[in-house]
């Protein structure tokens, strides 16, 4: 049912835009100017998109589910981009004021698309890690893993009398355990961190005896656990901080669009 509702939203938006584009074309054929209609509609859509942030601040009101509002916001955002192009008649308008408005509008659109991807994909991927980590506790979790890793290395040296694993840890693995790593790779859904762990543990494995290998397995398990926490750090950081760029940009676009609307009406009189 939910997929059907989403499909209906997109179909309605596409049909509405096609009707507007056809109407604008007919107006131009009659030597008219459709920018007044498209401009007012674009401003109305932008105001409607701004209501999404208000909806998130009032979750107790029976205004529909958050998922429905997210999909409406996504459909409305794409519709606004198409309407912006229809209104301006080009991907890049003329005039410094219009160009400033276009830059902000594109930045809002980019951060909005990024936010939609984050909200749609990250919750599922976080669940797939099999662990739950509170964002504020991640530094403490990483510190515990780092301390445990150092203890494993020390225990290996004391038990076996060999410093092979300890030297490899100091030269390579200590960098990995020191703080969150591969932020961008985790954020983009890459597997670079897993390949790094596999490569750097495999390179030393053949140099270890049986006793050292037991400690090596413990240390590798810690590294794999840290990889999962690093992903939580990257995903939760972006989820937490992307609205701090999207919302102020959206407010700036609305303010400039309102001023643009006032100027147009003043000079039209």
Residues 184-240 have pLDDT tens digits of 999 998 999 999 999 999 989 888 999 999 999 999 999 999 999 999 999 999 999
1 confidence band (pLDDT: 50, 70, 90):
very low
Q: Specify whether the CB–CB gap between 156 and 166 falls below 8 A.
A: yes
Which residue is listed with tokens 């584009």?
Answer: 21
Q: What share of the chain is helix, strand, coil (3-state, %, to 5)?
A: 85, 0, 15
Which residues, at least 6 apart from 220, have a Cβ–Cβ distance to it below 8 Å? 197, 201
57 confidence band (pLDDT: 50, 70, 90):
low
pLDDT above 90 (res 28): no
Return the sign of the alpha-carbon dihedral for residues 86, 89, 95, 100: positive
Q: For residue 141, what are its two tokens?
A: 């979790």
Q: Is 0.75 surpassed by the pTM of this model?
A: yes
DSSP conformation letters of 219-246: HHHHHHHHHHHHHHHHHHHHHHHTHHHH
As a whole number, the mean pLDDT across the chain is 90
Q: For residue 5, what are its two tokens?
A: 């509702």
Rounded CA separation 229/235 (Å)? 10
Q: Specify whether the CB–CB gap between 216 and 157 falls below 8 A.
A: no
Q: For residue 9, what are its two tokens?
A: 């939203």
Return the sign of the alpha-carbon dihedral for residues 27, 29, 35, 36: negative
Question: What is the SS3 string spanning 50-88?
Answer: HHHHHHHHCCCCCCCCHHHHHHHHHHHHHHHHHHHHHHH
C-alpha distances in Å from residue 38, one per residue of 65, 112, 149:
30, 22, 62
DSSP conformation letters of 152-169: HHHHHHHHH---HHHHHI
Displacement of CA 3 from its chain's centroid (Å): 22
Q: Specify whether the CB–CB gap between 59 and 90 falls below 8 A.
A: no
* Residues 135-191: tens digit of each pLDDT: 999 999 999 999 999 999 999 999 999 999 999 999 999 999 999 999 999 999 899
């Amino acid at each position: 049912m939910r997929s059907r509702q989403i499909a209906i939203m997109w179909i309605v938006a596409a049909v509405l835009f096609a009707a507007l584009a056809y109407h604008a074309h007919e107006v131009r054929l009659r030597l008219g100017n459709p920018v007044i209609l498209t401009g007012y509609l674009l401003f109305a859509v932008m105001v409607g998109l701004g209501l999404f942030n208000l909806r998130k601040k009032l979750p107790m009101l029976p205004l529909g589910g958050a998922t429905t509002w997210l999909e409406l916001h996504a459909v409305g955002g794409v519709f606004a981009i198409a309407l912006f192009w229809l209104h301006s008649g080009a991907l890049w308008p003329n005039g410094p004021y219009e160009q400033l408005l276009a830059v902000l509008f594109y930045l809002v659109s980019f951060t909005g698309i990024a936010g939609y991807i984050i909200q749609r994909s990250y919750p599922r991927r976080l669940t797939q890690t099999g662990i739950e980590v509170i964002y504020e506790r991640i530094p403490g979790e990483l510190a515990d893993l780092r301390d445990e890793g150092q203890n494993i290395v020390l225990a290996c040296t004391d038990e076996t009398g060999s410093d092979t694993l300890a030297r490899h840890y100091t030269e390579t693995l200590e960098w990995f355990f020191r703080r969150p790593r591969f932020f961008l790779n985790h954020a983009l859904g890459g597997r670079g961190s897993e390949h790094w762990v596999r490569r750097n543990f495999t390179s030393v494995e053949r140099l270890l005896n049986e006793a050292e290998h037991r400690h090596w397995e413990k240390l590798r398990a810690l590294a794999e656990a840290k990889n999962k926490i690093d992903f939580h750090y990257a995903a939760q950081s972006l989820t937490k901080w992307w609205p701090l760029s999207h919302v102020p940009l959206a407010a700036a676009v609305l303010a400039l669009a309102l001023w643009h609307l006032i100027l147009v009406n003043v000079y039209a009189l």
